[in-house]
Amino acid sequence: MRVGVLTGGGDCPGLNAVIRAVVRKGVQEYGHEFVGFRDGWRGPLEGRSIRLDIPAVRGILPRGGTILGSSRTNPLKEEDGIRRIKDTLARQRVGALITIGGEDTLGVAARLSDEYQVPCVGVPKTIDNDLSATDYTFGFDTAVGIATEAIDRLHTTAESHMRVLVVEVMGRHAGWIALHSGLAGGANVILIPEQRFDIEQVCAWVTSRFRASYAPIVVVAEGAMPRDGDVVLKDGSLDSFGHVRLSGVGEWLAKEIERRTGKEARTTVLGHVQRGGTPSAFDRWLATRFGLHAIDAVHEGDFGMMVALRGTDIVRVPIAEATARLKTVDPELYTEVGVFFG
Ligand code: F6P
C-alpha cells in the first residue's frame, strides 16, 4: 500500500522521530511505500508531496521541526477542500493517511475519516500536552526542559538585581508547561489559563518573597487571565482554525506588579524557543513508539483511530473521541503546588 504522511499545526520536537519510525517499520516489516505531504493539510489540498523512503529519514531522529513542513491550513474552510484532498490521494494512489497533529489537525482527520471515508490514522502531538485520551504528547517534555533551564538561569539574574522576573511560557488553553516548569524551576508564582488570577494576590506573593530576601520568579502561561479582565492578545489576527494570537500577559503582569508593589519587574517571553531544537530522550522514545503503533494500525486497516499513551502502553482510541475535549490542569493539582507560592 502507499501511505501518505503529514504533519500539521504548530511544529513540535519529535515529529521527525515519528516520521522515521513510520517509514522504517512500514518499509522493513510491511513493504509499504510512502508519500510525504508538504505543510500539513496544504500538501494534499495542493497535491504537493516529497519522496519518503528509508534514505529520506536517515539521521532525522534527533532533529527538531519536521522534514515535511507544517501549516495551520484548514481544508474544511477551503473551497472544494474535501474533494481536492480525495483527488490527490486517488491520483497518488494513497490508500491511507497518517496525520500527525494537535486538536485542529486531528479534528480534521476525524471528520475526513468518519464522514468522508478518507482512511486516516492519527498521531497526537503538541508541546501544550492538552490532548485528552493520551497521558502525554511528545514535545511537552522538551518544552518543559527548555522552560525549566530558562527559569534556573533567571533566578540568578533576578537575585543579583533583586527584581521580579516574569517568565511567559506557551499554553493556550492549558497550563501544563507553566505548571511543570514552574514547579521544577522553583517559581514563586505560577499562573495558568484554567484558573483566573487575582493581581492583588500575585503582588502579595511577590512582596512576601522579597520580605524573605529573595527575588520572585513568576511563571505565566500565555493564556492566563486576570480575574477582572480578558486574555491579553498580541493583535487581533486569527489563524484558519479561528485561534487568536496570544502573548502579552507577561508584559502586562510586569507592568502591574511594578505599579502596585514599587518593585522593578522584567519579562522574558520564551515563545518559539520552547518548540525548537532537538527533542529530549523521552520525546524521541514516545514519538518513535507512536510511529511504530501508527503504522501497525494502518497495516491492520484500523482507521479513524489515534495512538495514545496510557501508563506505559500505547493504545488506540477513536480520533473523534480524543479530540472532543481538552485535557486541562485539575484544580486540585494546582492547589497542591500552591504551597510554594509566595
Ligand atoms: O501548538 C500550540 C502552541 O504551542 C500554543 O501554545 C501557542 O499559542 C501556539 O502554539 C503558537 O503557535 P504559532 O505561533 O505557530 O501560531
Quote the percentage of the chain above a pLDDT of 70. Answer: 98
User: By mean pLDDT, which of 102-111, 185-194, 239-248 is the weakest?
Assistant: 239-248
**pTM of the predicted structure, to 2 decimals:** 0.95
User: Which ligand 1 atom minimizes the distance to the CA of 170?
Assistant: 6
Q: Is 228 a residue whose pLDDT tops 90?
A: no
Q: What is the β-pairing status of strands 164-169 and 313-318?
A: unpaired
pLDDT tens column, 129-154: 999 999 999 999 999 999 999 999 99
Distance 136 CA to ligand 1 centre (A): 17
Q: What per-residue confidence (pLDDT) applies to 233?
A: 67
pLDDT tens column, 279-331: 999 999 999 999 999 999 999 999 999 999 999 999 999 999 888 899 999 99
**Distance, CA of 177 to CA of 44 (rounded, Å):** 32
- 179 and 229 part of one domain: yes
The residues that are catalytic are 128
- The reply to whether 26 falls in a domain is yes
- 83 and 167 part of one domain: no
Q: What per-residue confidence (pLDDT) applies to 240?
A: 74
Band (pLDDT 50/70/90 cuts) for residue 234 is low
- 80 and 159 part of one domain: no
271: left (phi over 0), alpha (psi -120 to 50) or beta: left
- 269 and 245 part of one domain: yes
Q: In the 8-state DSSP scheme, what is residue 299?
A: H
Q: What is the CATH number of the domain that holds 41?
A: 3.40.50.450
- 259 and 291 part of one domain: no
Q: What is the CATH number of the domain that holds 229?
A: 3.40.50.460
Distance 342 CA to ligand 1 centre (A): 29
Q: Which domain holds residue 32?
A: 2-138+277-322
Mean pLDDT value of segment 123-130: 96
Mutate to test the pocket of ligand 1, among 172, 177, 194 (most ligand atoms within 8 A of CB): 172
| 3-state secondary structure (DSSP) of residue 63 | coil
- The reply to whether 342 falls in a domain is no
Q: Which of 179, 93, 170, 105 is nearest to 139 (CA)?
A: 170
Report, in angstroms and rounded to the nearest whole number, the Rg of the chain calculated over CA atoms. Answer: 21
- 9 and 120 part of one domain: yes
- The reply to whether 329 falls in a domain is no
Q: What per-residue confidence (pLDDT) applies to 244?
A: 79
- 49 and 174 part of one domain: no
- The reply to whether 210 falls in a domain is yes
- 131 and 6 part of one domain: yes
Q: What is the β-pairing status of strands 305-310 and 313-318?
A: antiparallel
The verdict on the CB of residue 10 being under 6 Å from ligand 1 is yes
Quote the percentage of the chain above a pLDDT of 90. Answer: 92
User: Which ligand 1 atom minimizes the distance to the CA of 12?
Assistant: 1
Mean pLDDT value of segment 57-65: 98
**Distance, CA of 20 to CA of 30 (rounded, Å):** 15
**Distance, CA of 190 to CA of 181 (rounded, Å):** 9
Mean pLDDT value of segment 15-34: 98
